[in-house]
Structure 1
Amino acid sequence: MESLEVPSETLLQLADALEAGHVRGPLTKFGLRAFTTSASAVRSLEALRQTAGSEAALAAMCRLVVAERAATMARAPRVELVWTGPERAGASSRDTKVVVAELFARARRSVLVSSYSLSGGATLFAPLAARMAEIPALRVRMFFDLTVGDDGMSGPRTREAHEARFVQRFRKWHWRGARVPEVFHDPRTIDDDRISFHAKCIVIDEEIAFVTSANTSVVAQQENIEAGVLIEDRLFALALGKQFDDLVTAGLLVPVQGLSALR
């Protein structure tokens, strides 16, 4: 039945007409001209009428098609465009900074944040730090490329040295909360300068996912031109989070040592 080439509103109007006796079989293109101009739709409706056995039964089937469509729409993922930067008046996008703050504020069980670079974290992570204080069981994991922002630093280029310098920067410039999130990185970025950790996304409660071109920075969330998509779909959010989980389990993404001492 869902193959009917007739809008839901029109099907409801046809159902009303059938029940009122204004439309009777056999259904023809002329007889249904007020409802559809599609010959294939007319043939499908007439076949359904013959199968149903009466106009009243066909009306019920039309309403069933509309109900099935509504149920399908309710199950469909909710997808929204998220944007940073200039755009025309009346654009249907949402603001990156607002979306990120709202996501942090609504988290109940878990938060995953992944970004290539990090700047202005104390400001951007303020809602998340507050949420962690409100919900002691909230688990927060972050993933960054530790080599970004470390180029001008003096000292050794070992994994331990990069981690130690990141811990200093993170606590000084990026995090003000009493509880500290778990932070992971890809050690390959330290050993091979051709490799970058470039994934930029947020997953909330394994239910909502935000995938974006924007890094975790004030400039990226307020001034650059950046595009992203907010997807409210549990299966997608679970799949995205599992990508990170699997890499952590395999030891390919490793925890930054020293942050736990700051708790």
Structure 2
Amino acid sequence: MSIDAARRTLARELTGDEASKLAERLESGVTLAQALQMIAPSRKMKIKHLLADAGLNVDRRGLVQVLRAIQDATDAHTHSIDAIWTTPSGLAKTGSLTSSLGQLVAHARDSVVCATFNFQRSSAQWEALRLAAARPDLAVRVYVDRDAADKDPAPWKPSTQEVADELAGATVLRSRPMRGKQVRSHAKFFAIDHRTLVVTSANFSKSAEVHNVELGLKIEDPVLTVAIENQMRDLERYVYEVVQRT
């Protein structure tokens, strides 16, 4: 890999927050090996190889400059908004596609929080979540509607118990009664790495990802994303319960 290619790959691999914290540690005088302790073990070796390919593992000053540039470039896109569409035959010509959300989950570095009304096994998002939940370096939290999953059982849709069992590394929560009435959990969103928020009309199903007309927004905003994660956490004590794995 060329030096330029390695530096471009490094910029894609690191978040702005990671670049900032690495730069701060290096500026404080710690060694590169010590600074890299903040990177998840599953990604640390890749970062080390990229630094070597980019000629930055022995150039402390140059590395700090590159890290600050990555931070600045990321911060410049902190508040971007993009439309996400599903349309029959791919008729939408602007924005991203709902079917691409699985890649967003696959590239998560730290956390995935999602809420949906229902799951179908045909969904690309369902498979992406299964893989994400199996990663020990990733915190995955899932909110699902109890009745949508548990009423009228069918092989093509997992029950809340099956969601918990099949997403074995995730925390799975289902809606529960409040004041004697079952709460319907109809929110549909992803929150990735505490900074990327996707709010969508689409459920987790192949039809919602390929055939329907669905609209969502992908928002790069750490403050809003964390606020929504915190609000869901606050709601847990009132309207959600953890599904224990069998």
TM-score with structure 2 length normalisation? 0.60
| 2: CA distance, partners of 1:187 / 1:241 | 19
Per the alignment, residue 241 of structure 2 pairs with: 254
Deviation at 1:242, TM superposition (A): 1.1
| Structure 1 residues 151 and 190, CA gap change in structure 2 (3 angstroms) | farther
Q: 2:82 is matched with which residue: 70, 80, 96?
A: 80
Deviation at 1:169, TM superposition (A): 6.5
Contact 1:147-1:189 at 8 Å conserved across structures: no
1:187-202 superposed matches below 5 A: 187-188=176-177, 191-192=180-181, 195-202=183-190
Contact 1:214-1:227 at 8 Å conserved across structures: yes
Q: Deviations over 1:167-188 (max 9, x none)?
A: 14665xxx3x6x4311112202
Aligned pair 1:182/2:171, yes or no?
yes
Q: Please state whether the residue corresponding to 1:148 is helix, strand or coil.
A: helix
Deviation at 1:74, TM superposition (A): 2.7
1:234-253 superposed matches below 5 A: 234-248=222-236, 250-253=237-240
Aligned-partner residue type, residue 136 of structure 2: P
Per the alignment, residue 106 of structure 2 pairs with: 105
Per the alignment, residue 225 of structure 1 pairs with: 213
Contact 1:112-1:202 at 8 Å conserved across structures: yes
| Structure 1 residues 122 and 220, CA gap change in structure 2 (3 angstroms) | closer
Contact 2:77-2:220 at 8 Å conserved across structures: no
Deviation at 1:86, TM superposition (A): 3.4
Contact 2:110-2:139 at 8 Å conserved across structures: yes
Q: Please state whether the residue corresponding to 1:125 is helix, strand or coil.
A: helix
Identical aligned residues as a percent: 27
Contact 2:88-2:210 at 8 Å conserved across structures: no
Q: Please state whether the residue corresponding to 1:128 is helix, strand or coil.
A: helix
Contact 1:117-1:216 at 8 Å conserved across structures: yes
1:4-83 superposed matches below 5 A: 74=76, 77-83=79-85
| Structure 1 residues 165 and 106, CA gap change in structure 2 (3 angstroms) | closer
Deviation at 1:152, TM superposition (A): 2.6
Deviation at 1:112, TM superposition (A): 0.5
Q: Please state whether the residue corresponding to 2:204 is helix, strand or coil.
A: coil
Deviation at 1:211, TM superposition (A): 0.2
Q: Please state whether the residue corresponding to 1:112 is helix, strand or coil.
A: strand
Matched length? 170
| 2: CA distance, partners of 1:199 / 1:90 | 24
| 1: CA distance, partners of 2:149 / 2:104 | 26
Q: CA RMSD in A?
A: 3.1
Greater Rg by CA: 1
Per the alignment, residue 125 of structure 1 pairs with: 126
The range that moved more, 227-236 or 215-224, is 215-224
Contact 1:189-1:196 at 8 Å conserved across structures: no
TM-score with structure 1 length normalisation? 0.56
Q: Please state whether the residue corresponding to 2:150 is helix, strand or coil.
A: coil
| Structure 1 residues 168 and 87, CA gap change in structure 2 (3 angstroms) | closer
Aligned-partner residue type, residue 140 of structure 2: V
Q: Which consecutive unaligned segments of at least 5 residues does structure 1 have?
A: 1-70, 154-163
| Structure 1 residues 84 and 191, CA gap change in structure 2 (3 angstroms) | farther
| Structure 1 residues 205 and 170, CA gap change in structure 2 (3 angstroms) | same
Q: 1:94 is matched with which residue: 53, 78, 96?
A: 96
Per the alignment, residue 12 of structure 2 pairs with: none
